[in-house]
């Protein structure tokens, strides 16, 4: 029997989430204040947004990290915007910002058909032309190799086209120029903004300081005679073309934010199914990140000519790689697609894989999308375990293409499904996994998945990682000190999935803290990861550290948000050389001449007009390092989300009542699920392993000091026989002098609190049925059909049972809605003649509702009649209509709405088999004809499923 308490919440993952808004506690107010600062109180007229509603990477303009100018925006920023709006929606009840954020994500980051012409000319059997990558930037441009048999087949293009009716790619390009600072404009017009640009193109040694920014729409208007193309690839001749690159972790984060927005909105009676469908579509195309760059077979892939070209899905590593790209000719006459051979732990999202493979609202339309993500989920969790050091932090990643050109690695390099360990995947300057932000990004999603799913494998990884976080994060005097950089040594063990739980795994793999300090965005991200695992494991030590860090972050706040002082010694590289091959020359849209020997600032002369340039110039000339207080959009969001989650889940230090508490005391386990403590003197109406539960204002709350008989000890007559009492209310299969017997974990247990169990079932009817006509839940149960009243519907009981995973063989239920104006007064169920075949079943249902609602018709109310009939009862739903029409003669049969729900057809293999059910009195004669005990069981199911 499902937990009765859970029937008041939305089902599935939402049973572990709070079902109410709370916005009055300190942490909620912090989150809302941050939201208002960033978004201009929801107007998007703030220093964080452009007039075109582009969220900037930072509000400061002189900024070089992955984006090389602060008012550029990246897909990462947009994905954080979705997260920002999701949490604000839960705290305020206004989810409109989530859909608005997604609409601008589509407008600015996902190229429309006009910006990706020629995709219909794509040939999945010949996806692209091979060009080697190289660790040395001076080996660029890379020569294209026109040779058949090198590149494998694209196995998902056709099914994506069939699913969505287009060859266009639905994915975010990773970077745009928010203010058109570089001057390329959209489609080369030189003026429009934002505009698609790109930077990184030349292998692992190309840091941001060595990039040559260029337009995605290559018209040969700028650059050299071939535009910028011949800086990157060496071809026999060059065509005008467009190219885009996706950063898959951003797409995965957008899906995460959309999921929580959808889930919380559903709890609040609002419908974001359209958003869920768009996120599912994004996830479908995100599968290109699962594939080797040139669709080569995964595992021991050595030699670009020798390594086998893939067919089917043997080119899928099922991990989330560093990028995937697509492009084509400006004339629409050709196009190409590639994946990526390199994977990084910080880019993984088991959460997105779980959402896309298990949640029906987010199920991709393609034939194999959900199945692929199910495979990816398992593979990603294994990757994290393979990369986990003995200290608990997570090492770099794996590659199917050593050095980017399928080279032969050293024999000492270990592997994961034939892909080689890389401690610094993708880029080396600086090493990609030294920055601890990668710890937060990858593990926050993993531990969020653990919190929602309870996957013990993910739990093991998160628990080990949490120990590392605790050991390397300190708060003292309102200041935070944490690991900001790591160094790496050793290699993981050769991967074998059977070693997942092995003690002393990866004894020779170590991550050592090489620098400490404060990085606000990184620590907020890391703390979110710690929060998820600590909530799941009831780890108060972890919760205390979360609260301490978030409280201390308030000391880093100013009028624009959160920031910390940063001395940027790396800005000496403004004067460092950008590699340009000898003999190459051209000019960019800022008017800079590009040739061999130029520096970073030479090709970005507009930086000299920036108000912060003076201190950088002084540093280059021998002065002190420039100091900045950056307000990064993603950092503000991580802090806002962390504060919001503390409020939503009611977290507090040392188990004391958290945000929004009503003054009573209760167990920390209840509070960590997002519920408040009841007021002192509450009545205990339900008990489970989390503690004592009461109800206030139609919401569950922890009743720590209430009074009840719920704490009755398990009778000696039960324990003497080797049995325990049921941990929660269970269906009573059998009653004798010893007690009321239920079943848990395939064994008998006693319902010692049977009176409380019946009481709560009656209470559910009281708080649900009496007020249902005034409840607006159309958005929650919008999938239901054939009901007269669209303002309040009943969820399809089949779906309820399916989500609850109740695998029982039970008879048909017919639900009939009767026009209230035609109903006679009195008790409908008692009016059913005794000689009808449904008398006894409805007598059982009546037992659960009579004391609470008296089942009397009232003027202006609708009455609902539940009728149970055996599976093989002749006439089916038509017979049920005949019965009601006979009893209530004023109702024409054509006015009786009669959804027919066949529980028998949804029977599946469960813990209670057919033979077990027959032996234990539910089906005493055969598996179609129920006993009175089974009828009573069905009645309880209806009561618990009737949630509207």
DSSP 83-135: HHHHHHHHHHS--HHHHHHHHHHHHHHS--GGGSTTGGG--TTS---B----S
Q: What is the pLDDT of residue 748?
A: 72
In the structure encoding, which two tokens stand for residue 392, read together?
């608990």
| pLDDT reading at 393 higher than 70 | yes
Question: Is the bond leading into 141 cis (omega within 30 degrees of zero)?
Answer: yes
486 DSSP 8-state letter:
E
Q: How far is it, in rounded angstroms, from Cα 728 to Cα 742?
A: 10
- Burial-class residue 561 by CB neighbours within 10 Å (0-12, 13-18, 19+): buried
* Among the listed residues 425, 105, 103, 113, the one whose alpha carbon sits nearest the alpha carbon of residue 246: 105
| pLDDT reading at 585 higher than 80 | yes
* Among the listed residues 479, 478, 468, the one whose alpha carbon sits nearest the alpha carbon of residue 517: 479
- pLDDT tens-place string over residues 120-148: 999 999 999 999 999 999 999 999 999 99
Greatest mean pLDDT among 83-97, 749-763, 828-842, 907-921 lies in 83-97
Task: Find out whether 223 and 197 touch, Cβ atoms under 8 Å.
Answer: no
Query: Predicted confidence band at 681 (pLDDT cuts at 50, 70, 90)?
Result: low
Q: What is the pLDDT of residue 659?
A: 38
Helix (H), strand (E), coil (C) string for 741-784: EEEECCEEEECCCHHHHHHHHHHHHHHHHCCHHHCCCCCCCCCC
CA quadruple 648, 653, 655, 660: dihedral sign: negative
CA dihedral 116, 121, 124, 126 (to 10 degrees): -100
Q: How far is CA 686 from CA 359, 383, 666, 692, 783, in A?
A: 29, 41, 13, 6, 31
| Chain Cα centroid distance, residue 274 | 16
Give, in degrees to the nearest 5, the angle at Cα 449 between 444 and 452. 125
Check: pTM over 0.75? Answer yes or no. no
Looking at per-residue pLDDT, the higher value among 734 and 381 belongs to: 381
Q: Chain-wide mean pLDDT for the chain?
A: 79
Place of tokens 């220093």: 47
Q: How far is it, in rounded angstroms, from Cα 898 to Cα 786?
A: 8
| pLDDT reading at 175 higher than 70 | yes
| pLDDT reading at 274 higher than 90 | yes
Task: Find out whether 540 and 651 touch, Cβ atoms under 8 Å.
Answer: no
Phi and psi at residue 222, to the nearest 5°: -125, 170
The one catalytic residue among 25, 60, 76, 268 = 76
The contacts of residue 915 (CB under 8 Å, 6+ apart) are none
Beta bridge partners of 362: none
Q: Percent helix, strand, coil in the chain (nearest 5)?
A: 40, 15, 45
- pLDDT tens-place string over residues 641-655: 999 999 999 999 976
Q: How far is it, in rounded angstroms, from Cα 726 to Cα 769?
A: 28
- pLDDT tens-place string over residues 426-435: 999 999 999 9
Q: What is the pLDDT of residue 664?
A: 58
- pLDDT tens-place string over residues 190-247: 999 999 999 999 999 999 999 999 999 999 999 999 999 999 999 999 999 999 999 9
Task: Find out whether 144 and 234 touch, Cβ atoms under 8 Å.
Answer: yes
Q: What is the pLDDT of residue 788?
A: 30
Judge whether 76 counts as a catalytic residue.
yes
Q: How far is it, in rounded angstroms, from Cα 365 to Cα 351?
A: 19
Q: What is the pLDDT of residue 934?
A: 54
103-117, 390-404, 605-619, 705-719: the lowest-pLDDT one: 705-719
DSSP 888-899: STTS-GGG-B--
Task: Find out whether 488 and 423 touch, Cβ atoms under 8 Å.
Answer: yes
Phi and psi at residue 473, to the nearest 5°: -135, 125
347 DSSP 8-state letter:
G
| pLDDT reading at 60 higher than 70 | yes
Q: What is the pLDDT of residue 700?
A: 73
| pLDDT reading at 637 higher than 70 | yes
Query: Predicted confidence band at 891 (pLDDT cuts at 50, 70, 90)?
Result: very low
Task: Find out whether 46 and 37 touch, Cβ atoms under 8 Å.
Answer: yes
Q: How far is it, in rounded angstroms, from Cα 442 to Cα 249?
A: 9
Q: How far is it, in rounded angstroms, from Cα 911 to Cα 395?
A: 40
In the structure encoding, which two tokens stand for residue 678, read together?
């009841």
Task: Find out whether 422 and 414 touch, Cβ atoms under 8 Å.
Answer: no
Give, in degrees to the nearest 5, the angle at Cα 202 between 196 and 207. 85
In the structure encoding, which two tokens stand for residue 194, read together?
């934002």
684 DSSP 8-state letter:
P
Interhelix angle 437-453/520-536, rounded to 10 degrees, is 20
The one catalytic residue among 68, 154, 179, 249 = 249
Looking at per-residue pLDDT, the higher value among 310 and 808 belongs to: 310
Q: What is the pLDDT of residue 691?
A: 76
Rounded average pLDDT over 14-24 = 40
For the chain, give me the number of helices (H) and strands (E)?
22, 33
Judge whether 249 counts as a catalytic residue.
yes
Task: Find out whether 534 and 465 touch, Cβ atoms under 8 Å.
Answer: no
Q: What is the pLDDT of residue 733?
A: 52
The contacts of residue 82 (CB under 8 Å, 6+ apart) are 98, 101, 102, 105, 253, 254, 257, 258, 261
Query: Predicted confidence band at 835 (pLDDT cuts at 50, 70, 90)?
Result: very low
Q: What is the pLDDT of residue 931?
A: 54
- pLDDT tens-place string over residues 30-50: 999 999 999 999 999 999 999
Measured between alpha carbons, how far apart are the two ends of the chain, in Å?
A: 20
Q: What is the pLDDT of residue 938?
A: 52
Rounded average pLDDT over 320-337 = 98
CA atoms within 13 A on the CB side of 467: 10
């Amino acid at each position: 029997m499902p937990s009765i308490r859970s029937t008041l919440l939305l089902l599935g993952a939402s049973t572990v989430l709070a079902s109410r808004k709370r916005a009055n506690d300190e942490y909620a107010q912090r989150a809302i204040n941050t939201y208002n600062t960033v978004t201009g109180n929801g107007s998007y007229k703030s220093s964080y947004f452009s007039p075109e509603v582009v969220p900037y990477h930072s509000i400061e303009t002189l900024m070089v990290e992955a984006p090389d100018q602060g008012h550029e925006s990246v897909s990462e920023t947009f994905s954080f915007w979705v997260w920002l709006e999701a949490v604000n929606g839960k705290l305020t009840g206004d989810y409109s910002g989530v859909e608005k954020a997604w609409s601008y994500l589509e407008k600015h980051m996902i190229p429309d058909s006009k910006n990706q012409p020629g995709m219909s000319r794509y040939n999945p059997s010949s996806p692209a032309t091979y060009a080697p990558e190289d660790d040395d930037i001076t080996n660029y441009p890379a020569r294209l190799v026109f040779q058949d048999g090198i590149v494998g087949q694209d196995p998902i293009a056709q099914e994506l086209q069939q699913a969505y009716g287009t060859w266009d790619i639905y994915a975010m390009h990773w970077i745009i120029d928010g203010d058109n600072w570089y001057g390329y404009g959209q489609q080369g017009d030189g003026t429009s903004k934002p505009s698609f640009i790109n930077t990184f193109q030349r292998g692992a040694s190309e840091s941001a300081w060595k990039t040559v920014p260029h337009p995605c729409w290559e018209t040969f208007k700028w650059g050299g005679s071939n535009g910028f193309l011949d800086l990157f690839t060496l071809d026999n001749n060059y065509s005008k073309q467009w190219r885009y690159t996706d950063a898959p972790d951003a797409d995965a984060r957008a899906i995460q934010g959309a999921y929580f927005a959808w889930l919380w909105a559903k709890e609040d009676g609002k419908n974001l199914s359209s958003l869920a469908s768009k996120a599912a579509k994004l996830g479908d195309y995100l599968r290109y990140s699962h594939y080797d760059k040139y669709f080569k077979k995964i595992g021991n892939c050595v030699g670009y000519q020798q390594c086998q070209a893939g067919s089917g899905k043997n080119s899928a590593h099922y991990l989330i790689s560093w990028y995937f790209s697509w492009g084509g000719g400006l004339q629409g006459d050709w196009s190409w697609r590639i994946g990526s051979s390199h994977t990084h732990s910080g880019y993984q999202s088991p959460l997105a894989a779980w959402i896309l493979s298990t949640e029906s609202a987010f199920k991709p339309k393609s034939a194999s999308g959900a199945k692929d993500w199910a495979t990816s989920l398992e593979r990603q969790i294994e990757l994290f375990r393979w990369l986990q050091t003995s200290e608990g932090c997570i090492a770099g990643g794996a590659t199917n293409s050593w050095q980017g050109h399928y080279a032969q690695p050293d024999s000492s390099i270990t592997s994961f499904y034939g892909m080689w360990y890389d401690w610094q995947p993708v880029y080396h300057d600086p090493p990609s996994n030294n920055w601890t932000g990668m710890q937060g990004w990858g593990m926050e999603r993993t531990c969020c998945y653990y919190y929602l799913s309870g996957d013990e494998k993910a739990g093991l990884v998160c628990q080990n990682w949490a120990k590392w976080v605790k050991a390397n994060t300190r708060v003292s005097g309102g200041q935070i000190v944490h690991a900001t950089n790591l160094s790496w040594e050793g290699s993981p063990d050769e991967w074998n999935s059977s070693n997942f739980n092995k003690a002393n795994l990866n004894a020779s793999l170590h991550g050592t803290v090489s620098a400490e300090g404060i990085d606000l965005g990184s620590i907020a991200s890391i703390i979110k990861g710690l929060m998820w695992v600590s909530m799941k494991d009831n780890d108060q030590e972890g919760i205390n550290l979360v609260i301490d860090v978030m409280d201390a972050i308030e000391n880093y706040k100013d009028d624009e948000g959160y920031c910390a002082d940063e001395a940027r010694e790396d800005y000496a590289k403004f004067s460092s050389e950008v590699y340009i091959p000898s003999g190459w020359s051209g000019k960019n849209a800022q008017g800079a001449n590009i040739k061999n020997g130029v520096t970073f600032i030479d090709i970005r002369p507009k930086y000299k007009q920036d108000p912060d340039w003076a201190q950088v110039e002084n540093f280059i000339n021998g002065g002190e390092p420039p100091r900045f207080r950056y307000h990064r959009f993603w950092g503000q969001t991580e802090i806002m989300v962390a504060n919001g989650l503390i409020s939503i889940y009611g977290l507090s230090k040392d188990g004391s009542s958290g945000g929004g508490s009503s003054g009573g005391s209760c167990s920390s386990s209840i509070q960590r699920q997002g519920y408040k403590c009841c007021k002192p003197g509450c009545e205990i109406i339900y008990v489970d392993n989390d503690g004592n539960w009461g109800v206030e204002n139609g919401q569950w709350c922890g009743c720590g000091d209430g009074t009840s008989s719920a704490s009755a000890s398990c009778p000696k007559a039960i324990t003497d026989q080797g049995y325990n009492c049921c941990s929660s209310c269970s269906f009573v299969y059998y009653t004798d002098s010893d007690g009321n017997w239920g079943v848990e974990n395939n064994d008998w247990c006693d319902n010692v609190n049977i009176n409380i169990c019946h009481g709560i079932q009656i209470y559910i009817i009281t708080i649900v049925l009496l007020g249902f006509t005034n409840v607006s839940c159309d958005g929650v149960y919008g999938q239901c059909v054939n009901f007269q009243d669209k303002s309040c519907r009943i969820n399809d009981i089949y779906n309820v049972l399916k989500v609850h995973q109740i695998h029982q063989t039970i008879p048909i239920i017919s639900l009939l809605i009767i026009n209230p104006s035609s109903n006679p007064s009195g008790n409908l169920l008692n009016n059913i003649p005794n000689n009808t075949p449904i008398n006894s079943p409805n007598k059982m249902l009546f037992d659960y509702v009579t004391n609470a609602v008296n089942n009397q018709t009232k003027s202006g109310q609708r009455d609902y009649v539940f009728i149970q009939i055996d599976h093989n009862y002749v006439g089916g739903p038509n017979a049920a209509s005949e019965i009601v029409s006979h009893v209530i003669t004023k109702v024409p049969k054509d006015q009786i709405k009669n959804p027919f729900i066949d529980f028998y057809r949804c029977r599946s293999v469960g813990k209670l088999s057919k033979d077990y059910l027959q032996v234990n009195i539910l089906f005493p004669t055969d598996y179609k004809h129920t006993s009175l005990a089974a009828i009573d069981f069905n009645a309880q199911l209806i009561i618990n499923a009737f949630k509207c």
